Structure 1
Amino acid sequence: MSEPGRYVRIMDTTLRDGEQTQGVSFSPAEKVNLAKALLEQVRVDRIEVASARVSSGEANAVAQIVAWAEERDLADRVEILGFVDGGQSVDWIVDAGGRVINLLAKGSEKHCRGQLGKTLDQHVADVRETIARANERGLAVNLYLEDWSNGYRDNPGYVFGLIERLADNGIGHFMLPDTLGVMTPERVFAAISDMVQRFPALQFDFHPHNDYGLATANVLAAAQAGAAAVHCTVNCLGERAGNASLAEVAVNLRDQLGFEIGIDESHLARVSELVEYFSGKRIADNAPIVGADVFTQTAGIHADGDKKGSLYHSRLSPERFARRRKYALGKLAGKASLAKNLERLDIDLSEDNQRKVLKRIVELGDSKKTITTDDLPFIIAEVLESKDYDHAELLACSISSSLGLDSTASIKIRLDDQEHTAAGNGNGGYDAFTSALSKVLKKQGLALPQLTDFEVRIPKGGRTDALTECSITWQTDDGELRTRGVHANQVFAAIGATLRVVNILMHRALSERRSAEAASTAA
């Protein structure tokens, strides 16, 4: 049953079960685009796209999907959930152009008696009647055994009796749901193994739910036990805690168990993005396979190991999924992390400049959670521009801005060996800072030069947490001078650029004074 190399079919039910996610409703156009991506690009074996009799819009979506699939000889891989309702679901599906009904029957005695008020034989008679009508109208039939997991646990005789009475009705797949997500991998394996051994001529699917966070593990157990097909959704969409993740299921069936599957992994991330966009449900950055951060190394020791021999690589290489490995820059970054990012940007820096850039990255990492490769050119430009003057250092700063009131700033600054404090106000935080700073400089016989241009930029991508580069042009006695600062906060980026000009002016003043003293001594 669990022999490596056996082909396991995957049915994706994002367009049906996924729509049971709170707040998710795909438009007909979105359903068509997702169906195309799942069948043609990701190449899942089957898709379940709707529930019968929901709405005219749902019928329109089914019709469009089936029409597209027929042109590519894929229509028999498009399935619709239907109900034991006197043939109404059958007629709805046929009218929409569908070819396969996934008929929902009661897989537990509790549901059969408590919800329908019927005996097993009565329910079987109703199911047989619906199957007969489906066959008359040319539909292939699969059968869901709703609440099978509890039904098998509470009264397995009911489950076996239901299957025995329907086994000769031409049902393609008997689909076994863990409707409330209550099973463990061990229970799944034992139950599916029992079903497969009792009914070796039948095809069984396993349909998980993730209420205990075990959906993917349960799918693997079902496949090992001999399930012919397993169900999943993109991004784990589904009622309550959702279903099993298509990406996780596919990769684990292939890598961990050695089963053959038809999935094209290079499109998994793309279809995940589509579902995220259409559903409005964001996935976690650390979601396996498709999350934004799962191929990002943060610790410098990991980047170093990769540089020296791919020591932190596994079979889950980003290239499999049309993605690329990243090395995060921040307070945990090391030389190897920086080197990997410089290599990606095709930038060559001396060891001394790499050391300076890394020092600045670590400093910025204390005020910002992540620094991206796109931030790096700003940091490099700032560091290479620096002359390492240390005449002025901002020790503390508090800036307050209010609507309808002047902004205020309180600063503590070191100028050479002396510390100074001052407060100022102005039209905005930066204006208030320069007001306070000017008071300190005035006491030292210094003044800020005239500001002639002020430019703020962020890296491409438009992230609200991006580093900000502030470039300021000053008019000095020796001509124009441009300084820049980089910070996660744009006001403090401007402050950095301003402190840089103060350092340059103080260094020039010191040099001129020393030159004058040397000339006086020589005379």
Structure 2
Amino acid sequence: MSKALSIFDTTLRDGTQGEGISLSADDKLKIATKLDQLGVHYIEGGIPGSNTKDIEFFRRVKDLGLRAKVTAFGSTRRKDSVAAQDANLNRIIDSGVYAATLVGKSWDFHVHTALQTSLEENLAMIFDSISYLKQKGLEVIFDAEHFFDGYKHNPEYALSVMKKAEEAGADWLVMCDTNGGTLPHEVHGIVSVLSERVKQAMLGIHTHNDCELAVANSLSAVQAGAQQIQGTINGYGERCGNANLCSIIPTLQLKMGYEVLETDKLAQLTNTARYISEIANVHMPNNQPYVGTSAFAHKGGIHVSAILRDSRTYEHVAPETVGNKQRVLVSELAGQSNIVSKAQDMGIAFDPSHEDTKQVMSKVKDLEHQGYQFEAADASLELLLREANGEITELFVFESFKMLVEKTAGRPVVSEAFVKIKIDGASVYTAAEGNGPVNALDNALRKALINYYPRLQDIHLSDYKVRVLDEMDATASKVRVLIETRDLTSSWNTVGVSSNVIEASWEALVDSIRYTLLGQTKLQGQHEVASERGGIVNH
């Protein structure tokens, strides 16, 4: 029978202490809603009264009707004072939450150095603060800061802190590895000791990732008796981050037999992680376990051949269980299986025994040797495969383009592009300005094609990246340009490579337009546009 655990998400409080993360009140409310839909049990909203954003959050979150318990964070009363007169404690009560997280010192070194008070007064601060909040009807989660370091330095005092918190009525005793330096076997041993001493309160774990062990330490604590796991989505947090709930939740549920989230909720994990990364404006690592775009990506030909027979050969869980998906990458390491699988995903009929398949594979490897990267440019790859499959023919012919970039003193740089192409045998010559060379080229090419292909009005470039491939050649280096293009419903990526950044940009730009009109052709039977790399059109 599975054992129930409690997930405590502190993305909105501890997660915002991560470098480069700043959330508005609206951001925090959106994230809280998403976390509630995922099914976490506690959402720590922040510190009431500490800033206007948190004040607004606690005022508005009541109207969301969340199932999760929203908690407010604060510290124990000040030394040599009265809990009922402590401003921080009263702000927690006034916030209207039903649960509070109180942090207190459990390392004697911190009591003497940071609080500059006696060990006895620290115990009184903990007892008084928890008792006061319990009298007000709140559920109290006591976070014992630096508990593991405190235990290793003075085990009896660290345990006495937890005992005092339990006597005061704390519902949860949470052991914090605040500096992130404890090892999994140490966590297991210390949690086991506390588990034997605690009679009424439940145990929780809060770890940091300074040794890349936050997830492992959290799992170790659960095995030793912890019932609540605190962490953040994507591991956001101070320094090296907090324990990553996106790794902890599926590991507990899929591998360790614990009841964490409802099964259908677990399938929302990837979407939740990516949604929150967008709101936080922090790039998610591609190789993040379970939810990263590369978590179930396969590149080696032998691997792909095997997963096409049975995905269990190279996948430890089914990607769909966490809302992710399997991806087959095409690169210089690709085998025939990669090409065939990718073509099938795109709806292209490819015969593995046909000579064309081998030629395409050879061409892909040659292009990647030159610096092209099709892993991140599926649209360019699809055009290549459809061309090889004989699905596209020439429609427009590239003839030339010219660039003019002018900078005058006291005035901004002006970029102007001149593009000449041939459509149905007729020359079309256009000129356009832009806020840079690539934007000017984009505007000029669209101007030449828009009357023939009105669909181009619906797309825009949403991202542009340049990567230097040969750093030793300095400004003469070959570069790779990746362009992301969007319309009202989707996005696609294209690639170009050259020792000239404008030429590389042009290749990627033309492919983005070709792909745009390829989709239009499939849906509406219209013509496709071609590039100078083959002048092709779907028909």
Q: TM-score range by the shorter chain?
A: 0.7 to 0.9
1:353 paired residue number: 356
**Aligned-partner Cα distance in 1 for 2:350–2:141:** 63
Q: Is the 8 Å Cα contact of residues 63 and 98 (structure 1) preserved in structure 2?
A: no
1:154-303, aligned counterparts within 5 Å?
Answer: 154-262=153-261, 264-303=265-304
CA deviation string 1:254-279 (max 9, x = no partner): 23322221252211112212221222
CA deviation string 1:146-171 (max 9, x = no partner): 11111101001111222233322221
Secondary structure of the residue that 1:375 maps to in structure 2? helix
Q: Is the 8 Å Cα contact of residues 374 and 381 (structure 2) preserved in structure 1?
A: no
2:26 paired residue number: 29
Q: Tell me by how many angstroms 1:19 deviates.
A: 1.0
Corresponding letter in the other structure for 2:365: V
Q: Tell me by how many angstroms 1:492 deviates.
A: 6.0
TM-score in terms of structure 1 length: 0.74
Q: Max radius of gyration: which structure?
A: 1
1:109-148, aligned counterparts within 5 Å?
Answer: 109-148=108-147
Q: Tell me by how many angstroms 1:402 deviates.
A: 8.5
Q: Is the 8 Å Cα contact of residues 80 and 101 (structure 1) preserved in structure 2?
A: yes
Q: Is the 8 Å Cα contact of residues 373 and 495 (structure 2) preserved in structure 1?
A: no
Alignment match of 1:370 (pick from 367, 374, 379): 374
Same amino acid, percent of matched pairs: 22
**Aligned-partner Cα distance in 2 for 1:262–1:492:** 47
Q: Is the 8 Å Cα contact of residues 166 and 173 (structure 2) preserved in structure 1?
A: no
Q: Tell me by how many angstroms 1:497 deviates.
A: 5.8
Gaps of 5+ in 1: 388-398, 406-426, 435-448, 470-484, 502-523
1:91 paired residue number: 90
Secondary structure of the residue that 1:128 maps to in structure 2? helix
**Aligned-partner Cα distance in 1 for 2:358–2:41:** 53
Q: Is the 8 Å Cα contact of residues 76 and 103 (structure 2) preserved in structure 1?
A: yes
CA deviation string 1:166-209 (max 9, x = no partner): 32222100111000001000000000011101224331111000
1:513 paired residue number: none
Corresponding letter in the other structure for 2:63: A
**Aligned-partner Cα distance in 1 for 2:148–2:299:** 42
TM-score in terms of structure 2 length: 0.72
**Aligned-partner Cα distance in 2 for 1:491–1:59:** 50
**Aligned-partner Cα distance in 1 for 2:298–2:196:** 46
Q: Tell me by how many angstroms 1:46 deviates.
A: 1.2
Q: Is the 8 Å Cα contact of residues 265 and 320 (structure 1) preserved in structure 2?
A: yes
Secondary structure of the residue that 2:167 maps to in structure 1? coil
Corresponding letter in the other structure for 1:250: I
Q: Tell me by how many angstroms 1:240 deviates.
A: 0.4
1:48 paired residue number: 44
CA deviation string 1:127-163 (max 9, x = no partner): 2322233233332222111111111010011112222
Range with greater deviation from structure 2 (236-245 or 376-385) = 376-385
**Aligned-partner Cα distance in 1 for 2:292–2:336:** 26
Q: Are 1:452 and 2:399 an aligned pair? A: no
Distance 1:132 1:490, change over 3 A: closer
**How well do the aligned residues superpose, as a CA RMSD in angstroms?**
3.4
Gaps of 5+ in 2: 78-82, 393-400, 408-415, 430-444, 450-455, 465-480, 486-493, 498-503, 512-529
Range with greater deviation from structure 2 (102-111 or 113-122) = 113-122
**Aligned-partner Cα distance in 1 for 2:248–2:484:** 41
Q: Tell me by how many angstroms 1:94 deviates.
A: 2.2
Distance 1:452 1:173, change over 3 A: same
Corresponding letter in the other structure for 2:427: T
Q: Is the 8 Å Cα contact of residues 375 and 466 (structure 1) preserved in structure 2?
A: no
How many residue pairs end up in the alignment? 431
Q: Is the 8 Å Cα contact of residues 233 and 246 (structure 1) preserved in structure 2?
A: yes
**Aligned-partner Cα distance in 1 for 2:122–2:128:** 10
Q: Is the 8 Å Cα contact of residues 72 and 100 (structure 2) preserved in structure 1?
A: yes
Distance 1:169 1:492, change over 3 A: closer
**Aligned-partner Cα distance in 1 for 2:427–2:299:** 40
1:375-394, aligned counterparts within 5 Å?
Answer: 375-384=380-389
